[in-house]
Amino acid sequence: MIRQIAPQFFTRNLPATLAYYTKKLGFVAVGTWQDPPVYAILARDQHAIHFRCATPPNADRDKYTDELLDAYFYIENADDLYAEYAAKGVEFARGVADMPWGAREFVVKDCDGRLLAFGAAA
């Protein structure tokens, strides 16, 4: 039985990614491997993302226009988390809003250009 999934994201600058996710998005570093680090696991609320230092695949040039998401986070309260991230200067690709599919959500553009959606049941 699958109980959890942990995405693995590629990054060219692991120290910058670690700083962004811990300082801006409230994750904690579970561990890093090698010196300098080439792999890291970050977690928030018992959910982890793995990061590997590598050249990411070429992104779709229409990624932002078409809002091609890299990850969707199911959360409890979109307004509270949006306010937390706004206070930390997080860049949003879309502000918090009620969506036609019954979610209240927003989209973050992270330090590596990934689109992360955060949504709560409306």
- Residues 82 and 112 placed together within one structural domain of the fold: yes
Last residue of a domain, one of 13, 30, 55: 55
Last residue of a domain, one of 15, 33, 55: 55
Q: Do 109 and 94 contact (CB within 8 A), yes or no?
A: no
pLDDT band at 2 (very low <50, low <70, confident <90, very high): low
Rounded distance between C-alpha atoms, residue 59 and residue 56, angstroms:
8
Q: Is the pLDDT of residue 117 over 90?
A: yes
- Residues 24 and 77 placed together within one structural domain of the fold: no
Q: Which range of residues forms the domain containing residue 100?
A: 63-122
CATH code for the domain in which residue 92 is found: 3.30.720.110
Last residue of a domain, one of 55, 74, 95: 55
Residue among 44, 21, 22, 25 at smallest CA distance from 87: 25
Write the pLDDT tens digit of every residue in 60-104. 778 888 888 999 999 999 999 999 999 999 999 999 999 999 999
- Residues 112 and 67 placed together within one structural domain of the fold: yes
- Residues 67 and 50 placed together within one structural domain of the fold: no
Strand partners, 97: 105
Q: At CA 27, angle to CA 89 and CA 106, rounded to 5?
A: 50
- Residues 45 and 3 placed together within one structural domain of the fold: yes
Q: What is the mean pLDDT of the chain?
A: 92
- Residues 43 and 69 placed together within one structural domain of the fold: no
Total tally of structural domains belonging to the chain: 2
pLDDT for 91 equals 97
Q: Is the pLDDT of residue 57 over 70?
A: yes
